[in-house]
């Protein structure tokens, strides 16, 4: 019998490697901002993320998605979601490494930076379970607006024990938290929300209304926006299980059938007689929950940067081991141009997300909070937008092999638009950039001070910064130009960071293409004369 299915010219599996330690730009950034002492722990996360076991967890959690169980066999309303065991394995690992809350209780140096690097490393495995991890990370600064509630719940939220299942919060070894803002009639315009909250004599409130999107509904606690009559939007803490052990009125109407993020349950929720506790003053719900949103937007940036890095890693690995027309694909000049362009995009995202995380570590330093306020919005707009094109191009590097589910690239591609939509779609974020520029001038000062640290280092960057100042000085049709302004701000900031911190061949490629205009309308159009080989070699993973 003649063998007809001999396997040849296929890359070996990219598994059982250290995702963190093989990422040179990431390791350098962690060292640069004072997180080098955490290398051993981050390498442990990296080995776990690169393991064949974690890859299998990711596959199973997405193959067998969450299932809504509204009632038990006897007809009792239970409103529970069943997840595949692999979902729990992924989430347990993330919580075990403290990616959900550790920086708020870690007094060590660069706590938020270390958490950002760990989160970036770990969620390259799978993006869906990152949702409750992110929301739990973000809830603590908002919860601290109400000291009694913070004292009651914060230690359990910070616990590194993953304890799934609906039980009285005080009886659990660890808690996860979510949030609910979006309603069908308002979307991002949360002031148009109609959910009502009525005060009770015992200090609680009763909520009635509907939330159009509520992700990870099996979390233990939620921050919910509701209208208090005569006061306006107010923030409330709503537990799934009340202190007396009874189930709160938290009716899951259906799970959303989403493009991606399919391992995660996103739901519609009905409140009718739901008990909540006020977080922050009445009528100040938006400013209160914005503290949470600022952190979730940071994770949007980190998650999108991670998505880029994961896809680029796969592209370089495949083309390193795949031959065509006499040599490996990676050595073909045109493919190398594509890979180098992808690698530059990914590194530019990486250096920016690390700088944003560092700003959270230094809230008392001059300008850091103001810089983070504006630069996080800029980064959220740009990096989340760039992820779709980057992942699509990386998938194409694998050809037909990349289009099939076994490669993992289709899942990455379906995930890629999410962060550009979640926590404010691109128009909302671009307008938020303008809002920060006009209402918080110190944020622009801090941004300019950061960008100007590279003044004189590259004439192309200097010219781009000059163009940016002209854009900012022109008030004509500024709202219609919001995307243009936010894009140029992102590119100037990334250029400054790369010129200062990355190898010259990476910064040169970025400035020549993104800033100097010698770039086509698609990736893989870097100008001639760049050291594309060194760029690709730097981004490659060796196992």
pLDDT at 174 over 80: yes
Cβ(45)–Cβ(70) below 8 Å: no
Query: Beta 221-228 vs 232-239: how paired, if at all?
Result: antiparallel
Q: Compute the mean pLDDT over every residue in the chain, rounded to the nearest whole number.
A: 96
User: Is the model more confident about 106 or about 268?
Assistant: 268
- Give pLDDT, residue 542: 80
| 442 vs 74: CA distance, rounded Å | 60
pLDDT at 476: 94
Q: What is the per-residue pLDDT for 185?
A: 82
pLDDT at 53: 98
Task: Tell me which residue of 154, 165, 147 sits closest to 102, measured CA to CA.
Answer: 154
Task: Check if 24-283 and 287-539 are the same fold.
Answer: no
41 DSSP assignment = H
Q: Quick one: pLDDT band at residue 410, thresholds 50, 70, 90?
A: very high
Does the structure show a pLDDT above 60 at 57? Answer: yes
Across 108-112, 133-137, 459-463, least confident range: 108-112
**4 falls in which pLDDT band (50, 70, 90)?**
confident
- For 24-283, CATH number? 2.40.110.20
Residue 49: the pLDDT is 98
Query: What average pLDDT does this structure show over 462-490?
Result: 97
CA dist., res. 410 & res. 383, Å (int)? 19
Please report which residue ranges of 474-529 form alpha helices under DSSP H: 482-501, 504-510
pLDDT at 107: 75
Closest CA to 112 of 376, 374, 362: 362
Give the integer Cα–Cα distance in Å for 441 and 234.
27
DSSP β-bridge partners for residue 215: 266
Give the integer Cα–Cα distance in Å for 424 and 416: 15
Written as six digits, the tokens of 353 are 């997300």
At residue 189, the pLDDT reads 79
Distance of CA 471 to the CA centre of its chain: 29
What's the confidence (pLDDT) of residue 139? 96
pLDDT of residue 1 exceeding 70: no
Q: Is 531 helix (H, G, I), strand (E, B) or coil?
A: coil
User: Dihedral of the CA atoms 338, 344, 345, 346 (nearest 10)?
Assistant: 110
What was the pLDDT predicted at 6? 87
Write out the DSSP string of 299-361. HHHHHHHHHHHHHHHHHHHHHHH-EETTEEGGGSHHHHHHHHHHHHHHHHHHHHHHHHHHHHH
DSSP codes of every residue in 423-445: TS-HHHHHHHHHHHHHH-HHHHH
List the chain domain ranges: 24-283, 287-539
The structure's pTM equals: 0.97
Q: Report the pLDDT averaged over residues 71-86.
A: 97
* pLDDT (0 to 100) of residue 2: 65
Residue 75 region, left (φ>0) first, then alpha (ψ -120 to 50), else beta? left
pLDDT tens digits for 247-291?
A: 999 999 999 999 999 999 999 999 999 999 999 999 999 999 888
Q: Please check the confidence at residue 125 and state whether its pLDDT lies above 60.
A: yes
C-alpha neighbours within 13 Å on the C-beta side of residue 215? 19
Report the range of poorest mean pLDDT among 178-182, 265-269, 402-406. 178-182
**Both tokens assigned to 148:** 């009694």
Please write the tens of the pLDDT for every residue from 191-223: 788 999 999 999 999 999 999 999 899 999 999
- For residues 389 and 384, what is the distance between their CA atoms, to the nearest angstrom? 10
What average pLDDT does the segment 65-76 reach? 97
Q: What does the pLDDT average to over 517-542? A: 96
Confidence of residue 106 (pLDDT cuts 50, 70, 90): confident
CA 337 from chain centre, in angstroms, equals 28
The two beta strands, 177-180 and 67-71, are unpaired
As a whole number of angstroms, the distance between CA 112 and CA 97 comes to 13
Q: What percent of the chain has pLDDT over 70?
A: 100
Read off the pLDDT of each residue in 135-149 and give the average, rounded to a whole number: 96
- Its CATH architecture, for the domain 287-539, is Up-down Bundle (1.20)
Mean pLDDT of 349-370: 96
């Amino acid at each position: 019998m003649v063998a007809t299915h001999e396997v040849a010219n296929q890359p070996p599996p990219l598994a059982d490697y250290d995702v963190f330690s093989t990422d040179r730009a990431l390791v350098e950034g962690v060292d640069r901002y004072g997180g080098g002492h955490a290398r051993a722990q981050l390498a442990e996360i990296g080995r776990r993320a690169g393991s064949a076991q974690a890859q299998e967890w990711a596959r199973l959690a997405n193959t067998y998605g969450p299932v809504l169980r509204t009632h038990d066999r006897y007809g009792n309303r239970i409103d529970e979601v069943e997840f595949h065991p692999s979902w729990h394995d992924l989430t347990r690992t993330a919580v075990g490494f403290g990616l959900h809350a550790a920086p708020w209780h870690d007094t060590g140096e660069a706590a938020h930076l270390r958490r950002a690097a760990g989160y970036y490393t770990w969620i390259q495995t799978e993006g869906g379970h990152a949702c409750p991890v992110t929301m739990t990370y973000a809830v603590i600064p908002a919860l601290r607006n109400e000291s009694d509630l913070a004292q009651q719940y914060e230690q359990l939220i910070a616990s590194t024990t993953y304890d799934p299942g609906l039980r009285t919060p005080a009886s659990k070894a660890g808690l996860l938290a979510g949030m609910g803002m979006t309603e069908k009639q308002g979307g991002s315009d949360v002031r148009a929300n109609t959910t009502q909250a009525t005060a009770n004599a015992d200090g609680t409130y009763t909520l009635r209304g509907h939330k159009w999107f509520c992700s990870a509904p099996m979390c233990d606690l939620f921050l919910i926006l509701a209208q208090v009559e005569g006061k306006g939007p107010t923030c409330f803490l709503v537990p799934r299980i009340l202190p007396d052990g009874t189930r709160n009125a938290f009716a899951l109407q259906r799970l959303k059938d989403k493009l991606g993020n399919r391992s995660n349950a996103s739901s519609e929720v009905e409140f009718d007689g739901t008990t909540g506790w006020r977080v922050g003053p009445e009528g100040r719900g938006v400013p209160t929950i914005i503290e949470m949103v600022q952190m979730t937007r940071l994770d949007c940036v980190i998650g999108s940067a991670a998505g880029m890095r994961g896809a680029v890693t796969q592209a370089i690995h495949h083309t390193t081991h795949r031959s065509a027309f006499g040599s490996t694909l990676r050595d073909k000049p045109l493919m190398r141009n594509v890979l180098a362009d992808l690698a530059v995009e990914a590194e530019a995202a990486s250096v920016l997300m690390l700088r944003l995380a560092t700003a959270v570590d230094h809230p008392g330093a001059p300008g850091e909070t103001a810089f983070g306020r504006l630069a996080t919005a800029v980064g959220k707009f740009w990096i989340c937008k760039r992820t779709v094109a980057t992942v699509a191009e990386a998938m194409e590097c694998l050809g037909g092999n990349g289009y099939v589910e076994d490669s993992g690239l289709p899942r990455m591609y379906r995930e890629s638009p999410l962060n550009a939509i979640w926590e404010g779609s691109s128009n909302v974020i671009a307008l938020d950039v303008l809002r920060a520029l006009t209402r918080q001038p110190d944020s622009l000062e801090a941004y300019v001070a950061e960008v100007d640290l590279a003044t004189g280092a590259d004439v192309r960057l200097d010219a781009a910064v000059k163009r940016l100042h002209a854009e900012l000085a022109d008030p004509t049709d500024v709202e219609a130009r919001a995307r243009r302004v936010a894009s140029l701000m992102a590119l100037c900031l990334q250029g400054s960071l790369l010129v200062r911190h990355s190898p010259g061949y990476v910064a040169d490629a970025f400035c020549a293409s993104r800033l100097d205009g010698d770039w086509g309308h698609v990736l893989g159009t870097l100008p001639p004369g760049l050291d594309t080989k060194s760029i690709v070699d730097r981004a490659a993973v060796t196992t």
